[in-house]
Structure 1
Amino acid sequence: MGYPDRRQEILDGAARLLAQRGITGCTVRGIAEDVGILAGSLYYHFDSKDAIVEEIVAGYLTQLADRCAEVATTRTDGRTRLQALVAASLEVCHANADASDIYQANRGYFTRDERFAKIRLLAAQVQQSWNDVIEAGIREGAFRGDIDKRVFHRYLRDAVFLSSRWFTPTAQYLLPDLAADTARIFLDGFTRAPGEPAP
């Protein structure tokens, strides 16, 4: 197995283990054992556990930041942009479920060290895209202005990024279905209007 393959194998194995046990619950030795190599061999590829964590999480957040920025600059109405933002975020999150879980469960860990400056920057870019979409929708009159936008953002963010912990697509209900329903719940609610016929 070549160098790139071994490196990716370490990252994939480490992501699974870190998602299961948390960053502080894992060691370099534990990651090496899980991948089936000696700890000394792992250091040939990465200088520390934090280097592994950084590469996993930064790779995920780079994809997420790029997709969110693309949606946020799309010339559509506020509702369509928010629906697209939910769909894009869910797609990236579920494609990188372990990395997403690592980041969501250990957010405080990335505030401690200058090593994680890139992760903090990428996370800020993602948040800015969400804020831009929500604020533009409020200005356009697509969204209500009487609800704190930070509260709306945090509820919707958690609904999207924690869904990888419980949602498994089936032939009858795919990821786009979850994206559509998530957007409808937050934009339209779960109750029928008075007099609205049942489906």
Structure 2
Amino acid sequence: MASERREHLVRLAAELFAQKGFQATTVRNIADEAGILSGSLYHHFDSKESIVDEILSGFFDEIMASYRAAIDRGQGPRETIAALVRAAFDTLEPHRAAITVMQNDWSYLRGMERFAYLTKAEDEIEEMWAGTIRQGQRQGLFRADIDATLTYRMVRDTIWMAVRWYRPGSGLDPKTLAEHYLKVMFDGINIH
């Protein structure tokens, strides 16, 4: 029961952080949403930072595992990029709040020593993507006149921004979004 209660509190807090921002959300807001006294929240967490840490570390653990699996399959660069895109879109539903927190509060959180792992993970992720793009350039599969790091950042940001408008149950699912995205990314919108 305690672990279920803790998970419930994390989900509530994640939604509040996504709606109001991490800095603007108070412990009292979280407790009020949960229907408990503020002091009761400290039975489960020592601070608001501990809650957001649990939200973000869970997200990063999952996305890193998915990205590493895509890289480790040893497919060609195009297939690997497609697998990375699919993995990113797969996080939209289960980690919508974490992605929103990352977008809204990244600058604030990464300034705290406790969240140093965010920068480390972001650097590793960037190297996975940009390294795959560079590999595709060396093999003549991707345009040589694009910057791999800038391209990765543009792709990442367009995927993560989908969290702002994508709604589960709206007739679109993450797999459909990923396939459409890949079609536009690889083939463009021009008729060849």
Regarding TM over 0.5, the answer is yes
Q: CA RMSD in A?
A: 1.6
Number of residues paired by the alignment? Answer: 192
Residues 62-119 of structure 1, C-alpha deviation per residue, up to 9 Å, x if partnerless?
1011111111222212111111110011102332111111112211022211111223
Amino acid at match of 2:142: F
Q: Distance in 1 between matches of 2:138 and 2:185?
A: 18
Deviation at 1:172, TM superposition (A): 5.4
Instruction: Name the residue aligned to 1:133.
Output: 132
The verdict on how the C-alpha distance between 1:16 and 1:172 changes in structure 2, with shifts beyond 3 A counting, is: closer
Q: Distance in 2 between matches of 1:9 and 1:32?
A: 12
Residues 128-165 of structure 1, C-alpha deviation per residue, up to 9 Å, x if partnerless?
22122222221222111101222211211111111122
Q: Any conservation in 1 of the 2:92–2:174 contact (CA below 8 Å)? A: no
1:5 aligns with 2:8: no
The verdict on how the C-alpha distance between 1:35 and 1:134 changes in structure 2, with shifts beyond 3 A counting, is: same
Instruction: Name the residue aligned to 2:23.
Output: 24
1:143 aligns with 2:142: yes
Residues 33-86 of structure 1, C-alpha deviation per residue, up to 9 Å, x if partnerless?
111111101011111111111110111011011111111222212111111110
Q: Any conservation in 1 of the 2:18–2:98 contact (CA below 8 Å)? A: yes
The verdict on how the C-alpha distance between 1:4 and 1:172 changes in structure 2, with shifts beyond 3 A counting, is: closer
Deviation at 1:166, TM superposition (A): 0.8
1:111 aligns with 2:120: no
Instruction: Name the residue aligned to 2:72.
Output: 73
Q: Distance in 1 between matches of 2:5 and 2:168?
A: 30
Instruction: Name the residue aligned to 2:44.
Output: 45
- What is the DSSP-based 3-state SS (H/G/I as helix, E as strand, rest coil) of the residue aligned with 1:95? coil
Amino acid at match of 1:23: F
Q: Any conservation in 1 of the 2:77–2:136 contact (CA below 8 Å)? A: yes
Instruction: Between 142-151 and 25-34, report the one with greater CA deviation.
Output: 142-151
Q: Distance in 2 between matches of 1:146 and 1:18?
A: 40
Identity %: 32
Amino acid at match of 1:94: E
Q: Distance in 1 between matches of 2:159 and 2:122?
A: 15
TM-score under structure 1 length normalisation: 0.90
TM-score under structure 2 length normalisation: 0.93
The verdict on how the C-alpha distance between 1:135 and 1:16 changes in structure 2, with shifts beyond 3 A counting, is: same
Q: Which runs of 4+ in 1 moved over 4 A?
A: 169-172
The verdict on how the C-alpha distance between 1:50 and 1:164 changes in structure 2, with shifts beyond 3 A counting, is: same
**Structure 2, gaps ≥5 residues long:** none
Q: Distance in 2 between matches of 1:32 and 1:90?
A: 31
